[in-house]
Amino acid sequence: MHRSPGAAASGLSPFRVGVTATGDRQPAGGSRADGSPASTWTATAGWRAMAVATSWTPAPAGSTGPGASAPEPRPEEQAFLMAGPGRAAEVAVVSLVEAGALRISRGGAVSAVHLPGRTWSPLQTRALRVVPQSLGDVITSVAGSAEAQALRQDLIARGYLTPPGRRAAIRLLRRFLLVAVGVLLVLNIALDVPFAVFWAGLSVALVFWVVTGRAARPLTGAGLAAARRLRLAAAEAERRASGLPGSGSAGRKASSARAGGIAGGSGGSDATAGGLAAADRVALVACHGLLGRVGRRAVWEVLGITQAAAGTLRRRVRGRGGDGGGSSCGGGCGSCSSSSCGSGGSDSGGSSCGGGSSCGGGGCGGGGGD
């Protein structure tokens, strides 16, 4: 088929119903100027349009262009993308524990430790304001705060999340599309619509279904890419955690002992007493949540949290209305309340589980920074 230079240069498809690539209208005899049947040409156009739709995703508002490089999401932002504000609140709280700004008692009470001259994220600042409270209440308060909603809006503006209003509108459009397809089928049976017309209408409906389905996802392309990178980091952390002494029964007893305040540690260390680095703890919490599992163990157990403290965690069903997610690492507490002693949510530093005054006794000290 001949394409005009203008069509080739612009990348536009020459398959336009009723018009050839050169702009001439088709003859009224049901065939194109080159003699090919109209039905064959319509079917080819439909398949071409579907191929384009499956390889194209509309860019969200606020997203950067292909040449721009957006900064890598911080741990709290990665956690939000995985499972919404509750997961982000978990990372914010455990990062404060790592930094020594919060302490967790054996019974699960959270108290603040004054650290002058430190700068915290909005979610961390919120956590510091709501203590003293129980672990569950702290996480619930942070997850439902205005700071968490501001984080959502920031991720939308940066092109990581699809706006909830747009997703709702697209879902409504898809419902109308299903109705239109049903009407088309009825007309095809009742009025004996020509195959070419029926296939053209069905092809257009399929194209719109594919395109709108991609646009209605909670995460944009950039958000999905960030979630994939977090899953890879969590997988590496799981591999390293499986090789620690805490992966066996003896290690679980040692972990419990550290959580009970028997083992001590330095607040500025980047690794736990078991050898798991702070960055690995961040990845595990952000990806799985504290109630998620790594192998046969819960994440809170890997981190050395006492069972009594873990009992304050509350599992919630992860919402799909823009709370993030859609690409979870596995089980976990999507928006659960949580605390941690040794899951670092900061960009650097952090203490070991059992560091400071430990998870069980008077809390888990910390160090490091944000």
Torsion of CA 4, 8, 10, 12, to 10 degrees: 90
How many C-beta neighbours within 10 Å does residue 223 have?
Answer: 30
Distance, CA of 360 to CA of 345 (rounded, Å): 20
Q: Does position 267 have pLDDT exceeding 60, yes or no?
A: no
Check residue 151 and give its pLDDT. Answer: 93
Check residue 166 and give its pLDDT. Answer: 74
205 or 234, which is more confident:
234
Check residue 79 and give its pLDDT. Answer: 92
Residue-range domain boundaries for the chain: 75-158+222-362, 163-216
306 or 149, which is more confident:
149
Nearest alpha-carbon partner for 272 in 354, 199, 331, 347: 354
Check residue 64 and give its pLDDT. Answer: 46
Check residue 51 and give its pLDDT. Answer: 47
Distance, CA of 120 to CA of 122 (rounded, Å): 7
Per-residue pLDDT tens for 164-208? 877 777 777 778 777 877 777 777 777 777 777 777 777 777 777
Q: Does position 239 have pLDDT exceeding 60, yes or no?
A: yes
What integer is the mean pLDDT of 26-38?
Answer: 46
Per-residue pLDDT tens for 206-225? 777 777 666 667 888 889 89
In single-letter form, the type of residue at position 84 comes to G
Average pLDDT, the chain: 66
45 or 283, which is more confident:
283
Q: Does position 346 have pLDDT exceeding 50, yes or no?
A: no
Check residue 329 and give its pLDDT. Answer: 55
Check residue 69 and give its pLDDT. Answer: 56
Torsion of CA 251, 247, 101, 115, to 10 degrees: 80
Can you state the percent helix, strand and coil of the chain, rounding each to 5?
50, 5, 45
Work out the pLDDT band at 327, boundaries 50, 70, 90: low
Q: Which structure tokens are listed for 102? A: 């919060």
Q: Does position 36 have pLDDT exceeding 60, yes or no?
A: no
Check residue 179 and give its pLDDT. Answer: 80
Check residue 244 and give its pLDDT. Answer: 61
Q: Which residues make Cβ contacts (< 8 Å) with residue 239, sequence separation at least 6?
A: none
Claim: this prediction has a pTM higher than 0.95: no
H helices of the chain, in order, are: 5-10, 38-54, 75-83, 85-99, 122-130, 135-143, 146-157, 164-191, 195-215, 221-242, 249-259, 278-288, 299-302, 307-310
Distance, CA of 259 to CA of 257 (rounded, Å): 5
Q: Does position 15 have pLDDT exceeding 80, yes or no?
A: no
Per-residue pLDDT tens for 127-178? 999 989 888 888 888 999 999 999 999 999 998 988 887 777 777 777 877 7
Work out the pLDDT band at 294, boundaries 50, 70, 90: confident
Check residue 350 and give its pLDDT. Answer: 37
The SS3 assignment for 270 reads coil
Q: How far apart are the first and last CA of the chain?
A: 61
72 or 16, which is more confident:
72
